[in-house]
């Protein structure tokens, strides 16, 4: 089968063996799969996958058809459409994944873009709901609102009933973020004067942490999901203390399958209904065939994207 692999800093299309499912796994024929920042970092040699995953194989999210089930699987059947996250290997014609880590794809969702849902939605939901308990009426600031996880965070915040402010590079992008349900937008230079915020989700750079602290409300919560190239910012802990604030951080990729399965169950219960009705949307910047994977990765490197770069296998 075909798969995208990282070799010597480049992304290549290669032939690899087709996997076989273990007793608790399903074999999925991939229909679509999004590209994420972790994929690009892995391709450049900066972000190795968790133990047990081939360091050359790329791809953290997928959607597709179950074509075979392991001997102990009872919750999924061949022919079902599913999606989910994995530690690697999703940029391929087929992959295997524990059945418990999959969520269903409804008939109202296009399977050719469904592969752009899991990583962003799972990450944003875990950060905002599980990590910092975003609640109705909270004032939420979303850094990186134009990207995949940012898109998801804005939409989840709006669905929860928070007052959502999106950070944009310039106000020329306002129409895009307002289409996701945010209530206001600010440029980086306008953040401090626009606060305070009860919850801030940081998706861009550790350098933003001092500004985030200044903009935090009493008892506010910051959750760090992305730091870019600045992972060691200097902060004034006295300011954090005076705000009685909380700083949390999280990643999904290295979590156990059990933890990923628990998150999948939460997503299925709380978010899939909104995806099915269109209240939550998968924002797509561009689609590429798997055979054009190297070009897709090159497009992902470029700035100015709104939403996901998605690979398709048909």
Domain extent, residue 143, equals: 130-249
Residue 178 lies in a domain: yes
Query: Same domain for 243 and 264?
Result: no
Kindly indicate the confidence band of residue 118, based on its pLDDT and cuts at 50, 70 and 90: very high
Residue 15 lies in a domain: yes
Query: Same domain for 92 and 139?
Result: no
Kindly indicate the confidence band of residue 207, based on its pLDDT and cuts at 50, 70 and 90: confident
Q: Give one word for 115, left, alpha or beta, with left for phi > 0 and alpha for psi -120 to 50.
A: alpha
Query: Same domain for 7 and 108?
Result: yes
Given 249, 270, 302, the domain boundary residue is 249
Phi, psi dihedrals of residue 84, rounded to the nearest 5°: 175, -175
pLDDT exceeds 80 at position 228: no
Residue 123 lies in a domain: no
- β-partners of residue 289 are 312
Assign residue 282 the CATH number of its domain.
Answer: 3.90.180.10
Global confidence as pTM = 0.94
Residue 201 lies in a domain: yes
Query: Same domain for 142 and 74?
Result: no
Given 196, 221, 249, the domain boundary residue is 249
Residue 248: CB atoms within 10 A of its CB come to: 13
Query: Same domain for 32 and 113?
Result: yes
Q: Which of 299, 67, 35 is nearest to 149 (CA)?
A: 35
- Mean pLDDT in residue range 242-256: 92
Least confident of 47-56, 216-225, 230-239: 230-239
Kindly indicate the confidence band of residue 19, based on its pLDDT and cuts at 50, 70 and 90: very high
pLDDT exceeds 80 at position 110: yes
Residue 122 lies in a domain: no
Question: Which stretches within the chain are classed as H helix?
Answer: 37-43, 111-114, 118-125, 148-160, 174-178, 191-194, 209-214, 237-242, 257-270, 272-277, 293-301
Residue 125 lies in a domain: no
- Mean pLDDT in residue range 203-219: 92
Distance from C-alpha of 102 to C-alpha of 94, rounded to nearest angstrom: 14
Total domains in the fold of the chain: 2
Q: Which two tokens stand for residue 279?
A: 């209240």
pLDDT exceeds 80 at position 57: yes
Query: Same domain for 15 and 94?
Result: yes
Residue 293 lies in a domain: yes
Q: What tens digit of pLDDT does each residue of 72-105 get?
A: 999 999 999 999 999 999 999 999 999 999 999 9
- Mean pLDDT in residue range 276-304: 95
Q: Which two tokens stand for residue 29?
A: 């024929």
Assign residue 145 the CATH number of its domain.
Answer: 3.40.50.720
Distance from C-alpha of 5 to C-alpha of 14, rounded to nearest angstrom: 7
Query: Same domain for 150 and 113?
Result: no
Query: Same domain for 48 and 85?
Result: yes
Residue 136: CB atoms within 10 A of its CB come to: 8
Distance from C-alpha of 74 to C-alpha of 64, rounded to nearest angstrom: 18
Distance from C-alpha of 208 to C-alpha of 3, rounded to nearest angstrom: 37
Query: Same domain for 210 and 284?
Result: no
Mean pLDDT of the chain: 94
Q: Which of 94, 39, 96 is nearest to 253 (CA)?
A: 39
Distance from C-alpha of 185 to C-alpha of 174, rounded to nearest angstrom: 7
Distance from C-alpha of 158 to C-alpha of 137, rounded to nearest angstrom: 10
Given 249, 267, 291, the domain boundary residue is 249
Query: Same domain for 231 and 187?
Result: yes
Residue 46 lies in a domain: yes
Kindly indicate the confidence band of residue 206, based on its pLDDT and cuts at 50, 70 and 90: confident
Query: Same domain for 167 and 74?
Result: no
Q: What angle do CA 111, 33, 82 make, to 5 degrees?
A: 50
Query: Same domain for 22 and 111?
Result: yes
> HSE-up of 152 (CA within 13 Å, CB side)?
25
């Amino acid at each position: 089968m075909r798969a995208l692999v990282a070799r010597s800093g480049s992304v290549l299309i290669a032939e690899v063996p087709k996997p076989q499912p273990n007793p608790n796994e399903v074999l999925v024929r991939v229909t679509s799969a999004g590209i994420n920042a972790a994929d690009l970092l892995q391709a450049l040699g900066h972000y190795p996958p968790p133990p047990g995953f081939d360091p050359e194989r790329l791809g953290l999210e997928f959607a597709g058809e179950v074509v075979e089930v392991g001997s102990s699987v009872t919750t999924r059947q061949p022919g079902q459409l599913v999606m989910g996250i994995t530690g690697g290997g999703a940029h391929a014609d087929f992959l295997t994944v524990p059945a418990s880590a999959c969520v269903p794809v409804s008939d109202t969702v296009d399977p050719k873009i469904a592969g752009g849902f899991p990583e962003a939605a799972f990450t944003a939901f875990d950060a905002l709901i599980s990590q910092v308990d975003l609640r109705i009426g909270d004032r939420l600031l979303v850094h990186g609102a134009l990207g995949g996880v940012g898109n998801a965070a804005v939409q989840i915040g709006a669905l929860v009933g928070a007052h959502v402010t999106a950070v944009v590079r310039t106000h020329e992008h306002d129409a895009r973020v307002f289409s996701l349900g945010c209530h206001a937008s600010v440029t980086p230079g306008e953040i401090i004067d626009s606060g305070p915020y009860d919850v801030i989700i940081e998706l861009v750079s550790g350098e933003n942490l001092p500004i985030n602290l200044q903009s935090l409300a009493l008892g506010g919560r910051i959750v760090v999901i992305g730091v870019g190239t600045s992972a060691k910012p200097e902060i004034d802990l006295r300011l954090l203390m005076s705000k009685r604030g909380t700083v949390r951080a999280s990643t999904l990729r290295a979590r156990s399958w059990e933890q990923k399965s628990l998150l999948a169950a939460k997503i299925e219960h709380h978010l899939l209904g909104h995806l099915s009705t269109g209240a939550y949307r998968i924002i797509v910047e561009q689609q590429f065939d798997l055979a054009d994977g190297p070009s897709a990765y090159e497009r992902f490197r470029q700035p100015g994207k709104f939403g996901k770069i998605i690979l398709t296998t048909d």
